[in-house]
C-alpha cells in the first residue's frame, strides 16, 4: 500500500483538521456515547469517551513497545479511517436472555508507525450504546511477521478521583476480595497483605490492579474497564498513576519477561469501557459478549445447563479428605452412592466427585510436575460401578481434573483423560489449577496459560465435554465462542467461606455482578445451609457470612448455567422446605430484568425460566438490612401468578440469627409491587408460577 | 535413624582417624586406582583419586546448596561407610562388544548435614579399573521430601595445568569444535565467538566448559571427566578456576534459575572420572555404560541396528529445500522414490525423509509454539504410496520430527505422531530440537528437557519405535537402559561440513571418540564422497575437510548402530567401488579392539562384525599425514583372510587431492602386520573376510 494520507469521512464520522491535530469522532447508535480520536502532529493517538456529555475517558493514548523488532509504536501517521454500522440479533446456546442485540458503530483507523519501522496497524473501535470496545490489529505485512510485545501502552484516563471497586493486580490469583476506595487511595500491596487465605500470590506492586475494575463517579456514572475475547494474549492488569488518574495496561509477563508472541495477522483482545448512569444497565450489558466471536461449535445440542451436587464441601469443612491416606477418604464408593441417591431423589443432574484419583497425598505446594494422571481411581472408588449406578438413576458423575498447576503434565495427558471420560459416559469436567504453574516461570494469567485454557475448551468440545475451569484467568466472554466452557471460578467463590480470616463478607456477592461476572458465568457454588463450620471439627471458628434466604437468592443473582448445590445432603434434609427453591430454580433463562442494584450494597434481579412462563427473582444485600421494592410489571399482564417467597424473617441477621427464614405464598399479577425486606447480610428468593 | 556415629571398616576399606580428619580409602579391583575420602573436623568431605601412584584428582570437595529448604549441604558428619564388590557380565542389545564386564568396588558414605537441617544423604562411589563414578543419593526422610537444588558444589581438582580438550560451556548447544589448550588458557567466550555457524548459543561465561572434558597430563595420563545416567537432573557443565586448577559443577538452570526439582528418594547422575595411561583404554572404557541401569525394554527383538540414506544432504547443499514454497521441495513423491530405489538396490535399511510435513515455510528462529503437527504431509508427498513402494522393496521410510524447539507442542502431539507412524509402518524416528526451547526460558540441557528426552525414549519404546535424537543433550549411556534410543547427534556432526566458516577440521573426528562418544553413539552422518559443495550452488566455497578413504573409515571409528549414508545417490554412483565398503560395513559388533589412538591426532580401531567371522578396521588422522601399523593378531589364528583395503593414495591430500583413493586386496593372517599410510586429513578402511 502506498504511503499516502487518506482520511475518509463517512456518515457518522466528523473529521476536523486543526493546527496541531486531526480529530475524528463518532457516537453510539443512540448518540449517548461520543468517541473522539486525536492524532497530534507529533503522531500520538488518543481516544476520548463521554456519556451524555459527561467525561468517561479523557484523552488517553494508545501504543506498544515491541522487543522484536525493537521498536516503540507510539507515534503514528493516520492513513485511513473507515466506519460502518452493525445492528443484528443472535441467540446464545444458553444464557440470561434468549436473544442478544449487537448494535454498534465501528471506526477503524489505519496507522503507520512514524519511526523507520514501516509497521502498520489498525485500531478498531466499536461504540455501543453502553460503552466502547477497541482492539489493535496487526495485518500481514512485509515489515512485520513474528513479533514480541514488550509492553502495551494503552491508557485509560479518568476524569476525577472516582470511588473505585478494585482488586490487587496479581499474575496468578484473582481470588481476592474487592476493595472500595477512592482511586487515589489504592494500595494493592497493603490490600494483598491483608489477605491471608490466598495460597499463591504474585502481587505486581502497590499501584497495580486487576480488571474488570469498576468506578462510580460523583456525577452519577458507573464505569467498568475490562477486556473481551482474551485469546492468544496475556491478561491485562492496570497500573494506576494516581496523580494523573491514568490507568496503563500491565500485561502479564512470561517466564523470560516478554508479554506476547504474535504473528501477523494478529489482534489483541478488546479493551472495553462499559458506562451508564444506571447501575442496573451495567449488569445487563451484553457488550463483552458482543465483542466475542460466534460459537465455533456447530451442533451444540449436547451442551446442557445443569445443577449438580458435590463431593466437595465435606472435604472443606473437615468431614472427609481428598487423599486416601489418613482414613477419611471422601470419594469412596459407598459415600458417592449416597450423593448419587440424593441427586436422584431431588432431581439434580450431576455429582461432582473430587479426590477420586490417586495422587492427593502429595500434590499441594510442591511445584511438582508429575502428580495426577487423571485416569487412575483410588482403589476404594469403583468408578465403573458408580457410573452405572448413577446412570440407572438419571444422574451423571462430574469429572474432576486438578492439575495442581502442572499444566505440562495435564497437556500430555489430556487426550487420554478425555477419552477415559467418554468411555465412562462422563460429559462434564471441572478443571483446577491450584499451585504455581509448570512450565515454571509462567503465570496463570500469561499468554501461555491463556492459550492452554483455550486448548482445553477446544479439546473438550471435540470430545463433546462440558467444562468448568477453576483457578483459571478471568473470563472475557469466550463462552459465546465455546459454549461448552460453561463456567469458571476466577474469583473468590463460596469455598472462601471456610477461610480462617476474611472469608466472604456480605458485600462480596453484591460486587461480583459488577465486576467478575461481566466476563462470564462463575461457578460460585452457592447454597450453603449451615453457617457455623464446626460441624465436624469443633476448633473451626470461621463461618459463612449470610442468611439462608440469601443463599437461595444467589442462584438468581449470580448467573451460571452450571450451579453447584454446595452443602451436604444432611444439611439440606433439615430444611427441605427452603431446599425446594434450589430444586426449582433453573440455570437457563429466556429473559432477565435487573430491577435494582448498587455495587457493594444490593442486587435485585428477575429472570424468566427458559421455555417456561415461570419467573424467579433474587435479591441480596450487604451487611446492612434493606427494604427493596419489586414491581412485577415483567409478568404477563392479564395472568395471575403464585409467588413463593423465601425470605429473611424480621429477626434474621447474618451474625446473630442467620438460619431463620420464612416461606410465604402470594397471588400476584403484573400490577403487583412486592416489598422485600432483606436482613443484614440477607436476601430473598421468589418463584412466580403462572396459575 | 538415631544420630550416632558409626564407621564400619570392611574388607578393602582402610579407615584412619587422625587429629584433624577421618580417612577412608579403597582401590579398584586391580589396585591401579586408589580413592581416598577425607572428612575434616569442620565437616568438609573430599575425595582424592590416583592412578598407579599418579595424582588424578587432588582432594576435591562435595556438596550442595538447596534453595528449598534453604540450606547449604557442605559440612557433614560421617555416619557410616559401607563397601561391597561387584563383578558381573552383561550383554547389550547392540554395541561395540557383545559382552560387557562390570567390575568395581563400591563405597557408600552416609552423611548427615552438620547444620540444623537434619538432612541425610549418601555418596556412592564405584571404583573401576579405569576410573571412578560417584553420585549423591537423598533417601526418603522426615527432614527432606521435595527439595530444589540451587547449586551442586562437586569439584574436580587437577594436579597440574594439563593439556585440555574442551568446548565452551553452553546451555543450549553442544555443536562446538573442541579447543586444545592448557587448562590455564581456557577462554570459552573467545572460543564461542569464533564459531559463526552455530545458530543458537547460550554461552555461560569465559570460565565455563562442557563435559565430557579430556585432559592429557605431562606424566602420561588421559583423564576424562563426565557424567553417566543423566536422569531427572540438568546437564553438568564445569566452571574452571585456573589458579586452583579446580573445576566446579555448573548445572544448567531452568526458567527461574533453579537447577533441579527433586523428591526423595532421589539421586544425581554419576559424576565420572575415566583415567588411563593408555589412550586406547579410554576409548574402550565401558565405565559410563556400567553406571547406567539395565535395559527397561523386555523384548528388544524389534530393535535393529541399521544403515540408511537420507533425503537430507541435498537440502544442505542447495539442491532442494525442506519447504515446499519456492519450487525446490526435496521431499516430493518422485524424488523419494528414487531414494527408495537406491536404498533397495544397494541394500540399505531405510530412507530418512526430511521436509515431508507442512510447516517448513515458517519454522526457524521465530520461537513459535505451533509449527509442526507431525501428521500432515505436504500435498506433493504421498506417504501412503511411498511406504507401500518402500515395503515392496524391503526398505523403510524413516520418520522425521523436527520440533523447532517447541517441545510443549511436540509433547501435546507425540502420541498422535507415534500412532501415525505405527499406522504407516514406520519404526524409526529422527527428532530435532533446532531453536530456542518452548517452554520459554528452559534450555536444551536443563532438567525439564532431560526429562523430555527420556519421555520420548520411553514413549517411542511403548510404540516399538527406534529413536535418533538431534540437538538433544549429551548422551550419558542411557542407551543401555533404553536401547531403542539408538543414537543422538549432540555434537558437531557432518552437516557442519557445509558451514561457511570453521566447518569440520580434520582433527575433529579424532577428538570425538575421546569426548562425546564416551556417552553413546552419535548420528554423525559420515560417507560424503564429494567435498566441493558447489555442486548446485556455484557460490558455495565451503568444503568437506577429508579424503574419501577417511569417510569410509569413519563408519568404523565413530561407532553407531544407526549410520547414515549421507551423500547423494548420484555422488555414490560415481564411486561404486569405494561405496562397496559402506554397503559392507556393519553397524553392530561382537568385538572391538582399539589399536592405536591419540586425541586430536589419530584413531585406529578394529571391530568384529556381529555374528560373523569378518573384521573391519578404520584408521583416521588429523591434518597431518601419518603411518600407522596394524597388527592383525585379533584375527583367528590358523585362518587366512582376504583384506580389502580402501586407502589414500600417495598423492592424496584433503586440501589438494581428496577424492583419490586406492582399493587393494591382500591375503592376511593373524601374524600379519599391515602398514597403513594415511594422507593429510585422510584415513583407511579395511574389510577382513575369512577365506
Give A-chain residues touching B448 at CB under 8 angstroms. 408, 439-440
β-pair type (A396-402, A428-432) = parallel
Res A501: pLDDT: 85
Percent of all residues in chain A with a pLDDT value above 70, rounded to a whole number? 97
Res B5: pLDDT: 34
Q: Do B440 and A367 touch (CB under 8 A)?
A: no
Q: State the average pLDDT for chain B.
A: 96
* Digit-coded pLDDT (tens) for A278-300: 999 999 999 999 999 999 999 99
Res A487: pLDDT: 98
Residue A12 has pLDDT above 50, yes or no: no
Q: What is the CATH number of domain B525-559+588-691?
A: 2.60.40.1180
What's the CA gap between A244 and A157, in Å, rounded?
Answer: 8
Q: State the average pLDDT for chain A.
A: 96
What's the CA gap between A287 and B638, in Å, rounded?
Answer: 94
| Catalytic annotation present for A495 | yes
CB atoms within 10 A of CB A103: 17
* Cβ pairs A/B, distance under 8 A: 77
Residue A91, chain B, CB below 8 Å: the answer is no
- Per-residue pLDDT, averaged over B392-415, amounts to 98
Res B2: pLDDT: 34
Residue B18 has pLDDT above 60, yes or no: no
Where do the H-state alpha helices sit in A244-296?
279-284, 287-290
Residue A23 has pLDDT above 60, yes or no: yes
Q: Which of A411, A439, A455 lies at the smallest CB-CB distance from B255?
A: A439
Where do the H-state alpha helices sit in B436-587?
447-462, 508-511, 548-557, 569-572, 576-584
Q: Quick check: helix, strand or coil at residue A198?
A: coil
What's the CA gap between A54 and A63, in Å, rounded?
Answer: 25
Percent of all residues in chain A with a pLDDT value above 90, rounded to a whole number? 95
CA quadruple B136, B141, B142, B147: dihedral positive or negative? positive
Instruction: Find all residues with CB under 8 Å of A14, minimum gap 6, and list them.
Output: A23, A24, A25, A26
Nearest CA in chain B to A369: B261
Residue B14 has pLDDT above 60, yes or no: no
Residue A364, chain B, CB below 8 Å: the answer is no
Residue B373, chain A, CB below 8 Å: the answer is no
* Digit-coded pLDDT (tens) for A245-282: 999 999 999 999 999 999 999 999 999 999 999 999 99
Assigned C-alpha cell, A525: 457454588
Do A148 and A171 form a contact (C-beta atoms < 8 A)?
Answer: no
β-pair type (A466-469, A485-488) = parallel
Q: Band of the pLDDT at B20, cuts 50, 70, 90? A: low
Residue A673, chain B, CB below 8 Å: the answer is no
Residues 121-180 of chain B with CB under 8 A from chain A are 145-146
Closest CA to A592 of A328, A280, A307, A136: A280
Where do the H-state alpha helices sit in B393-477?
407-424, 447-462
Going from N- to C-terminal start, the domains of chain A cover 306-585
Do B615 and B609 form a contact (C-beta atoms < 8 A)?
Answer: yes
* Digit-coded pLDDT (tens) for A487-525: 999 999 999 999 988 899 999 999 999 999 999 999 999
Res B364: pLDDT: 87
Residue A196 to chain B, least CA–CA distance (Å)? 22
Q: Band of the pLDDT at A338, cuts 50, 70, 90? A: very high
Res B21: pLDDT: 79
What's the CA gap between B156 and B133, in Å, rounded?
Answer: 12
Residue B54 backbone phi and psi in degrees, to 5: -95, 140
- Superfamily of domain A306-585 in the CATH hierarchy: Aldolase class I (3.20.20.70)
What's the CA gap between A374 and B672, in Å, rounded?
Answer: 66
Give A-chain residues touching B67 at CB under 8 angstroms. none
Residue A336 backbone phi and psi in degrees, to 5: -65, -35
* Digit-coded pLDDT (tens) for A100-115: 999 999 999 999 999 9
- Residue A64 burial (C-beta neighbours within 10 Å; 0-12, 13-18, 19+): buried
Q: Which of B263, B368, B439 lies at the smallest CB-CB distance from A146?
A: B368
Residue B458 has pLDDT above 70, yes or no: yes
What's the CA gap between A66 and A46, in Å, rounded?
Answer: 19
Instruction: Find all residues with CB under 8 Å of A298, minimum gap 6, and list them.
Output: none
DSSP string over A617-630? EEEEE-SS-EEEEE
DSSP string over B95-148? SSSS-EEEEEEEEEEEEEESSTT--EEEEEEEEETTEEEEEEEE--BTTBSEEE
* Digit-coded pLDDT (tens) for A606-645: 999 999 999 999 999 999 999 999 999 999 999 999 999 9
Residue A415, chain B, CB below 8 Å: the answer is yes
DSSP string over B397-415? EEEEEE-TTBHHHHHHHHH
Longest CA span, chain A: 80
Amino acid at each position: 500500500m502506498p504511503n499516502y494520507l487518506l482520511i475518509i469521512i463517512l456518515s457518522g464520522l466528523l473529521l476536523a483538521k486543526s493546527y496541531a491535530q486531526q480529530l475524528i469522532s463518532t457516537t453510539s447508535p443512540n448518540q449517548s456515547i461520543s468517541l473522539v480520536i486525536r492524532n497530534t502532529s507529533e503522531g500520538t493517538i488518543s481516544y476520548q469517551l463521554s456519556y451524555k456529555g459527561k467525561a468517561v475517558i479523557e484523552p488517553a493514548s494508545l501504543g506498544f513497545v515491541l522487543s522484536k523488532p525493537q521498536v516503540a509504536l507510539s507515534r503514528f501517521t493516520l492513513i485511513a479511517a473507515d466506519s460502518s454500522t452493525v445492528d443484528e440479533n443472535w441467540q446464545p446456546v444458553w444464557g440470561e436472555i434468549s436473544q442478544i442485540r449487537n448494535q454498534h458503530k465501528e471506526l477503524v483507523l489505519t496507522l503507520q508507525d512514524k519511526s523507520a519501522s514501516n509497521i502498520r496497524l489498525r485500531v478498531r473501535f466499536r461504540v455501543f450504546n453502553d460503552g466502547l470496545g477497541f482492539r489493535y490489529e496487526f495485518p500481514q505485512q512485509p515489515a512485520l511477521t513474528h513479533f514480541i510485545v514488550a509492553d502495551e501502552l494503552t491508557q485509560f484516563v479518568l476524569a476525577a478521583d472516582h470511588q473505585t471497586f478494585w482488586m490487587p493486580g496479581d499474575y496468578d490469583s484473582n481470588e481476592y476480595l474487592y476493595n472500595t476506595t477512592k482511586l487515589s487511595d489504592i494500595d494493592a500491596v497493603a490490600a494483598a497483605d491483608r489477605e491471608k487465605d490466598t495460597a499463591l500470590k504474585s502481587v505486581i506492586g502497590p499501584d497495580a490492579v486487576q480488571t474488570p475494575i469498576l468506578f462510580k463517579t460523583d456525577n452519577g456514572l458507573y464505569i467498568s474497564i475490562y477486556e473481551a475475547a482474551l485469546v492468544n494474549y496475556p491478561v491485562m492488569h492496570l497500573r494506576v498513576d494516581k496523580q494523573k488518574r491514568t490507568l496503563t495496561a500491565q500485561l502479564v509477563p512470561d517466564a523470560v519477561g516478554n508479554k506476547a508472541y504474535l504473528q501477523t495477522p494478529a489482534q489483541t483482545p478488546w479493551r472495553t469501557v462499559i458506562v451508564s448512569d444506571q447501575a442496573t444497565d451495567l449488569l445487563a450489558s451484553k457488550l463483552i459478549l458482543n465483542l466475542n466471536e460466534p460459537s465455533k461449535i456447530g451442533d451444540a445440542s449436547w451442551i446442557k445447563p445443569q445443577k449438580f451436587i458435590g463431593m466437595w464441601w465435606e472435604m472443606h469443612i473437615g468431614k472427609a479428605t481428598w487423599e486416601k491416606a489418613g482414613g477419611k477418604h471422601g470419594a469412596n464408593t459407598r459415600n458417592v452412592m449416597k450423593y448419587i441417591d440424593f441427586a436422584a431423589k431431588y432431581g439434580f443432574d450431576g455429582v461432582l466427585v473430587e479426590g477420586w484419583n490417586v495422587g492427593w497425598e502429595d500434590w499441594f505446594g510442591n511445584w511438582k510436575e508429575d502428580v495426577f494422571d487423571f485416569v487412575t481411581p483410588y482403589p476404594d472408588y469403583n468408578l465403573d460401578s458408580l457410573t452405572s449406578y448413577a446412570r440407572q438413576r438419571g444422574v451423571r458423575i462430574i469429572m474432576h481434573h486438578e492439575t495442581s498447576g502442572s499444566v505440562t503434565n495435564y497437556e500430555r495427558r489430556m487426550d487420554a483423560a478425555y477419552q477415559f471420560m467418554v468411555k465412562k459416559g462422563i460429559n462434564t469436567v471441572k478443571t483446577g489449577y491450584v499451585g504455581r504453574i509448570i512450565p515454571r516461570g509462567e503465570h496463570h494469567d500469561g499468554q501461555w496459560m491463556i492459550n492452554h485454557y483455550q486448548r482445553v475448551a477446544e479439546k473438550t468440545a471435540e470430545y463433546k465435554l462440558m467444562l468448568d475451569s477453576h483457578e483459571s484467568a478471568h473470563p472475557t466472554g469466550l463462552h459465546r465462542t465455546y459454549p461448552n466452557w460453561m463456567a469458571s471460578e476466577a474469583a473468590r467463590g463460596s469455598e472462601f467461606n471456610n477461610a480462617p480470616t476474611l472469608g466472604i463478607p456480605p458485600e462480596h456477592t453484591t460486587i461480583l455482578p459488577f465486576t467478575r461476572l461481566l466476563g462470564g458465568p462463575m461457578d460460585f457454588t452457592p447454597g450453603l445451609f449451615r453457617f457455623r463450620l464446626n460441624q465436624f471439627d469443633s476448633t473451626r471458628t470461621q463461618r459463612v457470612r449470610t442468611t439462608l434466604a440469601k443463599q437461595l437468592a444467589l442462584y438468581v443473582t449470580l448467573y451460571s448455567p452450571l450451579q453447584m448445590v454446595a452443602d451436604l445432603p444432611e444439611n439440606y434434609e433439615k430444611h427441605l422446605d427452603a431446599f425446594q427453591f434450589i430444586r426449582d430454580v433453573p440455570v437457563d433463562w429466556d429473559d432477565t430484568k435487573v430491577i435494582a442494584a448498587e455495587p457493594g450494597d444490593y442486587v435485585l434481579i428477575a429472570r424468566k425460566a427458559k421455555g417456561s412462563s415461570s419467573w424467579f427473582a433474587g435479591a441480596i444485600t450487604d451487611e446492612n438490612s434493606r427494604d427493596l421494592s419489586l414491581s412485577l410489571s415483567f409478568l404477563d399482564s392479564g395472568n395471575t401468578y403464585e409467588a413463593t417467597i423465601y425470605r429473611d424473617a424480621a429477626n434474621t441477621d447474618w451474625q446473630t440469627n442467620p438460619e431463620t427464614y420464612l416461606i410465604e405464598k402470594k397471588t400476584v399479577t403484573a400490577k403487583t409491587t412486592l416489598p422485600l425486606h432483606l436482613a443484614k447480610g440477607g436476601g430473598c428468593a421468589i418463584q412466580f408460577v403462572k396459575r
